């Protein structure tokens, strides 16, 4: 009787363990949360991020993330940053990284994906798509200057 439940639980645990870590929070100040599959996870230093995570900072918050392709994403206060898609082949450096900034401020240093092929890394804002060919830039989405 217990066996099917156990099997389901086990499958769930295995699935959770398999969800790939794509980066890690290295810097976290003030209120930082990660929204993952409807759950709110504290965005403490050391926390690993996964594809489809949405990272939010509060009015006193800021966060710095290093991805497995060595790219760096850091956001200032009142930001909403979604890690929409991340595929990275560590051997060939090929793949795709799409992230979007719904609001707030974001500083980017691109990594191996963008170096390997232009446009392998894209950052979206509510109105534009940025194709990353160089390395460093900043983006702001806000309610006025």
Partner 1 sequence: MVTRIPFVALLALVAGVAGCAMEERVILLPEANGAPTSLAVHQGSHDVVLDRPYAATDLTISDPFPYQATPAEVQTTFGDALAAQPARAAHFTLYFNEASDDLTQESRAELDHMLADVAKRPVRDIVIVGHTDAVGTDQYNDALAKKRAERVKAMLVERGIAAGDIDAIGRGKRDLLVPTPDGIAEPKNRRVEIVVR
Residue 36: name the closest of 48, 26, 27 by CA: 48
- Judge whether 101 and 129 are in contact, CB under 8 Å: no
Torsion of CA 84, 49, 19, 126, to 10 degrees: -10
Smallest separation (angstroms) from partner 1 to the CB of 127: 5
Residue 8 or 134 having the CB closest to partner 1: 134
Helix segments in 19-69, DSSP class H = none
Nearer to partner 1, 4 or 44 (CB): 44
Residues interacting with partner 1, by CB under 8 A?
A: 24-27, 29, 45-46, 62-66, 68, 70, 72, 74-77, 79, 90-91, 103, 105-107, 109, 111, 119, 125-145
| Tokens coding 120 | 């392998």
For the bound state, the minimum distance from the C-beta of residue 11 to partner 1, rounded and expressed in Å, comes to: 25
Nearer to partner 1, 13 or 45 (CB): 45
Q: What is the CA radius of gyration of the chain?
A: 16
Residue 5, CA distances (Å) to 8, 10, 106, 108, 140 in order? 5, 8, 44, 44, 47
Nearer to partner 1, 12 or 137 (CB): 137
Instruction: Give least dist CB 98 to partner 1, A.
Output: 13
CB of 7 to partner 1, least distance (A): 28
């Amino acid at each position: 009787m217990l066996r099917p439940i156990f099997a389901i639980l086990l499958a769930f645990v295995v699935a959770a363990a398999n969800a790939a870590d794509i980066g890690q929070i290295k810097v976290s100040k003030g209120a930082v949360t990660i929204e993952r599959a409807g759950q709110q996870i504290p965005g403490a230093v050391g926390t690993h991020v996964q594809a489809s995570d949405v990272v939010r900072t509060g009015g006193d918050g800021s966060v710095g993330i290093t991805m497995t392709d060595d790219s760096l994403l850091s956001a200032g206060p009142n930001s909403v940053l979604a890690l929409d898609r991340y595929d990275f082949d560590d051997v060939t450096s090929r793949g795709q990284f799409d992230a979007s900034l719904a609001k707030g401020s974001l500083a980017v240093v691109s990594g191996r994906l963008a170096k390997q092929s232009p446009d392998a890394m894209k950052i979206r804002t509510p109105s534009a798509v940025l194709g990353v060919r160089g390395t460093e830039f900043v983006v702001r989405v806000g309610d006025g200057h």
